[in-house]
Structure 1
Amino acid sequence: MRTRPTTLDSLATIRNLGILAHVDAGKTTVTERILYATGTTHKRGEVHDGTTVTDFDPQERDRGITIFAAAVSCAWDGHRINLIDTPGHVDFADEVERALRVLDGAVAVFDAVAGVEPQSESVWRQADRHRVPRIAFVNKMDRVGADLDTAVESIRERLHPAPLATQLPIGTEERFTGVVDLVRMRALVWDDAGGAPGTLVEGPVPDGSRDEALRRRRLLEEAVAELHPAALEEFCDRETLSGATLTGALRDLTHSGAGVVVLCGSAYRDRGVEPLLDAVVAYLPSPLDVPAVRGVHEDDGQVRAADPQAPFAALAFKVNANGTGRLTYVRVYSGTIEKGDTVRDAGSGRTERVARILRVMADRHAQLDRAAAGDIVALVGLKTARAGSTLCDPAAPLLLEPPVVAEPVVSVAVEARRATDTGRLATALARLAEEDPSLVVRTDDETGQTVLSGMGELHLEVAVERIRQEGGFEVAVGRPGVAHRETVLRGVRGLVHRHVKQDGGAGQFAHIVLDVEPLGGEVGVTGFEFRSAVVGGRVPQEYVRAVETGCRDALAEGPLGGHPVTGLRVTLTDGSTHVKDSSDMAFRTAGRSGLREALRTCAMALLEPVADVTVTVPADAVGGVLGDLAARRGRVTGSESRAGSAVLTATVPLAELFGYATRLRSRTQGRGTFTTRPAGYAMAPGPVAAAGGSAPGADTVR
C-alpha cells in the first residue's frame, strides 16, 4: 500500500470507484476477487458460504444479497483503489445514490446471459445523473448461454452509450479459459488445473483466434475514431491506431461518457479480474481528473480543487451508529485532516472534534494519523453529522450539495410487544433513521401509532429485523400500506382569496388571485410548479416568494384523503397589498389557505405508486403467472424467450406486490424469480379512490 498522499502527483494514483449491478450479477464476487488478486485477502470469500468481506452483516449473509454499501481499500500497480460494493436490490437504491455522490468512477457488472437487467439499468441512470465515468464487466462468461456480443448489444440498445469491447473471449461457456486483449493484441489465459485459483498466463494470440481478433481490433479502432477527434486524425493518416493513441482515446471517451469500455470474464472462477484492475487504473479518473467541487450557495464564492494543501472540505455519505461507537464515512475533497482536528458541520453550524481516523475494510478498520484530498475514510467522534453533511475547515466554510433522498413508498406500523420496551424501540428507530435517510419515522395523527416508511417491503423487513437482532426485544409489525398521492385532473381559474386579520395589534392583509391547473398532459405526472404573472408590481417580489412558500405548505395534505398533492401548476395572476398590514407571513398564510380552497374546488384524483416488474419463469408456467399478474391489476408490457425461460414485463400497482414472492414460488415450484423498480404513479381505481387510499400504518399491528 502506498504512503499517505501529500502531493498532487500522488493523487493521480488514487481511484475511488463503486461496483454497480443488478441483483445476482456478481458484484460482491467481483469485489472479493479484486481483494484476493491484489493480495488484500489471502482466502477467496464466497457469497453462498457467507464468507465474503463486504457482506459482513448477518442479514446479508443469511439472505445472500448486499444490503449496505461497504467500503474496502486495496493496492494495484502502484495505485490505491478505494472501492465501494453497492446493493443491487431496488429497495436499497438510496445506498447506491449516496455512494455515487462521492465516487469518481464505477465498474458496472452485467450477467453474460441476461445482459442489461432492470436494476442494472436503474443504477446506470443514477450514475448518469452524477456523471460518474464507467467501464463495463460482462461476468459469468462460463455459464450456459453466455454471449459477449449479445450483452454488448443490450448495453447499446438499453443504456445508449457506445460500447467499446476491448476483449475477445477464448472459448465459450464451460470452455471459457481467457481473453484476447485487443488493445495490446495479446492472449490472457487462466490455468486453474486442480481446482486452484486461476494463474494468469500471457502469450501470443492463438492461431485459431487471430483472424477474428484482427477483425475486432479494426472495428474497435473505427468506433473509437468516430468518437475521438485525435484518434480520427491518426486513423485517417495511417489507417490504424497505435496502442498509445487507442489507450488515450479510450480513457478520454470513458471520462466524457461518450463511450464505455467493455471487458469480460468469470469472477467466480478467477478469470478476467487482473485485466479489469488494469482497466480501472488505465481508464477511470483519479481525483485530479474530476471537476472541483463547488458550494451550493452563490455567496460561498469558492471552488475546492483536489489539493491536500487547500482548506479542508469533505462530504459525509454514510453513518454507522452502533453500541460500540459512531462512524461517519466521508469523502475528502480538499485539504488534509488529522486526528484531534476540529471540523465544522456547514449545514448546522456546529463544530466537532475528530477523535480518530480509520481506513475502512468493511467491518474492520486500521488507524490513520491523517487523511488527505481524494481519500475515503471513517471518522470517529462526530456526534451530530448526518449522511449528506458537509464537514469543512471552521475558518473556510463551504456547503456542498447533499445526496438526494428518495421519498418512501411503503409504510408499516410498528410497536414493541412489551410496553417496557417502548423507549428502546424509539431509540432503535431514531438510530435507523440516522443511518439511513430513506427510512422515515413518524407518528400517525389519527391512530397514534408509530409508522416506519421506506423504499419497499424488503427494505422495511431488513430494518425491523435489525431492531430485533440489535435491540434484543420483539417488535409487532402492521400490514404494509403504500404512499398515495393526490393530483389535479381539472383546475380552476381566477380563485380570489383574501386574508384579513385584525386583533388589536398590527393587522394582517393579503389579497391573491390563483390559477391552478394540471402540470402535465397525462395523469401520473409528479412535481409542482409555481409561476407569477402579476404585472405592475401589484404584489412585490418578496411577497410572491411568500405566496409560493404558502402554496408548498398546502401540498402536504390534499382534500381527498389527506395525502400529499403533486402534479399541479399554480400561477399567481393578481393581488393587492395594504401599506401597513401586509407582510411575508400574511402572504404565506394567504398562499396556504388560498391553494387549499382552490384544491377543494378542483376535480381531484387519487394516485397510487406503480412498479415495473420483470418476471422470469419456466415456459410451462407462463399462463398461470400471466393470470396472477392480471388479478393483481398488472398491465403486461412485453414478453420474450431466453435460454428456455420466459421473461415477462408488466406494470403493477405496488400495493398488489406485497407477498408476491411467495405466490410466484408456489406457482412455479420455486423456479420463478422477479425484480421490480419504481415506475412513478398512476390513477387509482374506483374502489381505492372512493376509500381515499390506504393510510400507511393505520392497520392494526400483528
Structure 2
Amino acid sequence: MRTLNLGILAHVDAGKTSLTERLLYAAGVIDEVGSVDAGSTQTDSLALERRRGITIKSAVVSFTIGTGGDATTVNLIDTPGHPDFIAEVERVLSVLDGAVLVVSAVEGVQAQTRVLMRTLRRLRIPTLVFVNKLDRGGADLDAVVDQLATKLTPRIVPMGTAEHQGTKDAVFRPFRERDDGFRARLLDVLADGDDALFADYVEDPASVPYRRLRRALARQTRQARVHPVFAGSAITGAGVGELTTGIARLLPSTAAAAATEQAAGPPRATVFKVERGPAGEKIAYVRMVAGTLRTRDRLSAGKVTAISVFDDGDAVPRAEVVAGRIAKVWGLAGVRIGDALGEAAAGDRADAPGHHFSPPTLETVVVPCRAREKGRLHAALAQLAEQDPLIDLRQDDVRQEVSVSLYGEVQKEVVQATLAEEYGIDVEFRESTTIHVERLTGTGAATELIKDDGNPFLAGVGLRLEPAAPHDGVTFELEIELGSLPLAFIRAIDETARETLRQGLHGWQVPDCRVVLTRSQYWPRQSHAHATFDKSMSSTAGDFRGLTPLVLMTALREAGTRVHEPIHRFELELPADTLGQVLPALARLRAVPGTPSPTGSAYVLDGDLPAAHVHALQQQLPSLTRGDGVLETRFDRYQPVQGEPPDRPRTDHDPLHRKEYLLRVTRRV
C-alpha cells in the first residue's frame, strides 16, 4: 500500500472543509457528510471552529483510495483559509507530499489563493486545483480557468468541462482523448517542459500517442511543473470521484517497499503541530521522514510514551510509526513546533530556513479583566505560544504586562474566546499597533574588561556589530582564539546577545546583523584553601549574561539604527467612476499607487501601502466603491520610517541606562 500526505488549502469560504468531508464520505470513513454551517464536520473539532464556521487549527484525517495492491493511504491535512491563521498553513507545508488548492467557481481567484499558490510553486509541492461550488448561482468554470492561467500560472491543464452550472444538477464531465482540443492543449502545455516531447510535437503532433501524454502529465505534475484542474461540488459530490482518481494517479506517494527500506534507519521526523491533552500533556504531531519511531525511544525532547498513527479516519494506537506516516506522539515534554526529531538529514524540506509567508505585523497588549489572574494569563498564553510560536509572547516585567503578535483582528477575537473557554480567563485587548524593526546603519564596537571602572562583573567582553542583509538573521562569530574562553561562557554571550537584540535603541527588534566576539576575559574557578568554590573570585556564566547587554548596547549606539516599517503591496480592482474618490483616500493613508490599468468598465490599481493603514483601507473601501471594490494585500518589505521614528516601551532591565540596569541586575551601581 502506498502513502500520501495531502494538504487541502484555500481562501476562506472556498469550500475546503466541505471537500474534506466529501472525500471522507466517498472513502467510507464517515456515514454522512458533515456541514460547516451546522458545525458537524469531522475536522473542525474545536467548539470555536464549529460556532464561527471557519477552520482555525489544522486537523489530520486518514482515508484509503483504491483496493488491494493499488490502494493508497491518504493522510489529509485540512488547513485554515482565513489569512489571520496563515501560520497554521506554514507549519503544514513542510510535511506535504502534495496539495489540493480549492477555488470557488463563483468568487474565482482571491487574495489568499494567490498567496498560497505562489508559495506552493516556490516550494515545488505538487498541486492539483479543484474548482468548487459548480452548483452555486453565478458559477463559471471557464472564467475561473482563465483567472487561474492569468493570475496564478499558465501551466495549468483543465481536465474536463462543466454542464448545468449554477444548478443542483451541475456535473463535471472529464475530457477524453477524442474530445476536440484536449489532446492539443495537453501537447501545448507538456511539450514546454519536455524536450523530447517538444521535438516530436514539432515534427508531427499526430504521432505522439495519448498514453505518452498521460504519462508525461503524471510525471510533470509530480515534479510540480504543471497543475491539473478538476471541478465539481463538495456539497453534491459532483466531480469528487474524478478528483479522487487524480489524487491517486497524479500526486507522488511513497510505495510500501520504499517505506520499508526507509524504516530500517534511525528515526527522523518533523513536528508540525503541538497541542495539549486533557491532562495538560503535550501531544506532538509528526511526519516521519525516515526510520521507525517506537514507544520508549529516547529523543532529545523526551521519552516517547505513546504513539497513535492516523488510519481510516482516526488516530489508532500503535507501538511504532514508520517512514512516510503521520502520527501523534506523547511524552516529548521539550518538543516545539518545527523541531526535527532524531538525526536531521541534508535535503529534508523541513530543515529549510526562514518563513514561507510574511511575519505578523501587529501586536497588542493583553489585559486580564481580573487583575489577580495575571499569572494565570501568562501561563495560558505561554501554552498558546507553544501551539503558535509566531504569537511571540513578550513579558514586560516593569509594567507587569504581556503582549502578543498577531496577523489581524479575527485572530485577536479567537485568542480572546480561547482564553475564556479553555482557560476561564476573561481578557481585553488594547489597540493593535504595527510591529517595526530596526536595522543597523553602520558598524559599532565596544569592550569592557574585569576591573574596568563601572564593571561589577567578573567578566570581560568585546563585541563588534556589523549590518547583515535582510533575512540573514542574527549570526554570532568568534575572533578570539579557540580555547581562550570556556564554551559555557561563549554560549552565555551568544544567547544573551540574541535576546538583547530583540529590543534595539528604539525598543524594536534588530533582526539582521553579525555579532562578533573580539575580546574575552575571565577568572578561572578558584577557592580559598581547604574551602569550597568562591563566587567572589571566580567567573560564572551569570557574569557574562549580566555584562553582555551593556557592551552590546554601547556597540549598538556607535553603529546606529534606523526604524523600518512594514509595507504591503496592494492590488485594487474598482469601478472606473470611483477612481476619483479612491485616489485621495489612498493619499491620506500614505499609499503610493501606480498607474491605473483599465479593464472594461473597471480599473486595476496596484502600489505600496504601509501595513498600519491596511485595516483602515479595508474599512473605507465599501463606501468608496459602492461595495464593488476588491482589495488584495500582502506583506512585501520593510522600509525606513520617514520623520520621527516610533519608540516601543522596553520590557527588559534597560541596558541603555546603565545605573538603572545595574541596580536591577546587581542591586548596586
- Report the TM-score when normalising by structure 2: 0.77
* Greater Cα shift, 22-31 or 416-425: 416-425
Shift of 1:468: 0.8
Q: For residues 198-250 of structure 1, what are the alpha-carbon distances to aligned partners after superposition, in whole Å with 9 as ceiling and x for unaligned?
A: xxxxxxxxxxxx7xx32232121232133224544665577343343222211
SS at match of 1:88: coil
Q: What letter is aligned with 1:444? A: D
TM-fit CA distance, 1:104 = 0.7
- The 3 A distance-change label for structure 1 pair 281 and 620 is same
- What's the CA shift for 1:72? 1.3
Alpha carbons of structure 1 residues 597 and 382: separation in structure 2 relative to 1, 3 Å: closer
Residue type at the aligned position of 2:324: G
Aligned 8 A contact 2:263 2:292 in 1: yes
| Structure-to-structure mapping, 1:215-254, within 5 angstroms | 215-229=181-195, 231-232=197-198, 235=201, 236=203, 239-254=206-221
Specify the code of the residue in structure 1 equivalent to 2:8.
I
SS of the residue 2:566 aligns to: strand
Residues 1:320 and 2:313 aligned together: no
Is the partner of 1:23 in helix, strand or coil?
coil
1:357 corresponds in structure 2 to 308
Deviation at 1:92, TM superposition (A): 1.4
Percent of matched pairs sharing the same residue: 31
Taking only aligned residues, the RMSD between alpha carbons, in angstroms, comes to 4.6
- Describe the superposition over 1:329-371 as per-residue Cα deviations: whole angstroms up to 9, x where unpaired: 2222334455xx213333x4x32321x5253788x65545653
> Does the 8 Å CA contact 1:482/1:694 hold for their aligned counterparts?
no
Q: Which deviates further from its counterpart, 602-611 or 435-444?
A: 602-611
| One-letter amino acid of the counterpart of residue 557, structure 1 | Q
Q: How does 1:329-478 map to 2 (within 5 A)?
A: 329-337=285-293, 341-346=295-300, 348=301, 350-354=302-306, 356-357=307-308, 359=310, 365-368=315-318, 370-392=320-342, 401=351, 407-478=359-430
Q: Post-superposition shift, 1:470? A: 1.5
The answer to whether the Cα contact below 8 Å between 1:511 and 1:590 also exists between their aligned partners in 2 is no
Q: Deviation string for 1:379-435 (max 9, x for gaps)?
A: 345444332334459xxxx99738856754322222322244334323322221122
Q: Report what 1:5 is aligned to.
A: none
Residue of structure 2 equivalent to 1:189? none
Give the match for residue 30 of structure 2: 41
Q: Secondary structure at the match of 1:239?
A: helix
The CA deviation string for residues 67-107 of structure 1, in whole angstroms up to 9 with x for no partner, is 11111112222322111111122221211111111111111
The secondary structure found in structure 2 opposite 1:82 is strand
Query: C-alpha separation between the residues in 1 aligned to 2:110 and 2:75?
Result: 26
User: How far did 1:467 drift?
Assistant: 0.5
Look up the SS of the partner of 1:274 in the other structure.
helix
1:612–1:141 CA distance, 2 compared to 1 (3 A): farther
Shift of 1:279: 0.7
SS at structure 1 position matched to 2:289: strand
Q: Greater shift after overlay, 272-281 or 42-51?
A: 42-51
For the 8 Å contact 2:568–2:635, the answer to whether it is kept is yes
Give the aligned partner of residue 9 of structure 2.
20
Aligned partner of 2:666 in structure 1 is: none
> Which of 94, 100, 108 is the equivalent residue of 2:93?
100
User: What secondary structure is seen at the aligned counterpart in 2 of 1:227?
Assistant: coil
Is the 2:63–2:311 Cα contact (8 Å) retained in structure 1?
no
Q: 1:565 to 1:576 in 2, by over 3 A?
A: closer
**Counterparts of residues 24-423 of structure 1 (less than 5 Å):** 24-77=13-66, 78-112=71-105, 114-142=107-135, 146-160=139-153, 162-170=155-163, 174=167, 177-182=170-175, 184-185=176-177, 213-229=179-195, 231-232=197-198, 235=201, 236=203, 239-288=206-255, 307-323=262-278, 326=281, 327-337=283-293, 341-346=295-300, 348=301, 350-354=302-306, 356-357=307-308, 359=310, 365-368=315-318, 370-392=320-342, 401=351, 407-423=359-375
Whether the 8 Å contact between 2:183 and 2:210 is mirrored in structure 1 is no
Flag the 1:605–1:511 CA change in 2: closer, same or farther, 3 A: closer
Kept in 2, the 8 Å contact 1:315–1:388? The answer is yes
When structure 1 is superposed on structure 2, of 230-239 and 637-646 the one drifting more is 637-646
Q: Deviations over 1:428-481 (max 9, x none)?
A: 222211222222222124422122223333223211210111123321222212
Cα distance per residue 1:541-584 (max 9 Å; x no partner) = 7899979888756633322x121124567899xx7899999x99
Checking the alignment, whether the CA contact within 8 Å between 2:363 and 2:406 is kept in structure 1 is yes
For 2:449, the equivalent position in structure 1 comes to 500
Separation (CA, whole Å) in 1 of partners of 2:495 and 2:293: 39
Cα distance in 2 for partners of 1:320, 1:512 equals 40
Q: Which residue of 1 aligns with 2:509?
A: 564
Structure 2 unaligned blocks of 5 or more? 525-538, 653-669
Using a 3 Å threshold, how does the CA distance of structure 1 residues 427 and 579 change in structure 2: closer, same or farther?
closer
Distance 1:257 1:465 in 2: 39
CA distance in 2: counterparts of 1:26 and 1:427, whole angstroms:
36
Post-superposition offset of 1:154: 4.0
Aligned pair in 2 of structure 1 residues 380, 672: CA closer, same or farther (>3 Å)?
farther
Q: Which amino acid aligns with 1:227?
A: G
Check the 8 A contact 2:571/2:633 in 1, yes or no.
yes
Judging changes above 3 Å, is the alpha-carbon distance between structure 1 residues 640 and 460 closer, same or farther for their aligned structure 2 residues? Answer: farther
Which amino acid letter does the alignment assign opposite residue 222 of structure 2? H
In structure 2, what is the equivalent of residue 203 of structure 1?
Answer: none
Partner of 1:487: 439
Query: Residues 360 and 377 of structure 1 are in contact (CA less than 8 Å); yes or no, is this contact kept in structure 2?
Result: no
* TM-superposition CA deviations, 1:629-660 (whole Å, max 9, x none): 44333334576788988766553323334566
Q: 1:114-168: per-residue Cα shift (whole Å, max 9, x none)?
A: 5443322222233345432112223344556655455445444444462223323
Corresponding residue for 2:530?
none
Gap change, CA 1:60 and 1:505, over 3 Å in 2: closer
**1:352·1:383 contact (CA, 8 Å) conserved in 2?**
no
Question: Counterpart in 1 of 2:665?
Answer: none
**1:682 aligned to 600, 618, 639, which one?**
639
Q: Which residue of 1 aligns with 2:566?
A: 609
Q: 1:80 corresponds to which letter in structure 2?
A: T
Instruction: Say whether the 8 Å CA contact 1:542–1:584 is kept in structure 2.
Output: no
Q: How do 1:521-560 residues align onto structure 2 when only pairs under 5 Å count? A: 525=470, 527-528=472-473, 540=481, 555-559=501-505
How far did 1:20 drift? 1.5
The code of the aligned residue for 2:378 comes to: A
Please report how far the alpha carbon of residue 671 of structure 1 lies from its aligned counterpart in structure 2 after TM superposition.
7.1
The number of equivalent residue pairs is: 619
Normalization by structure 1: what TM-score?
0.74
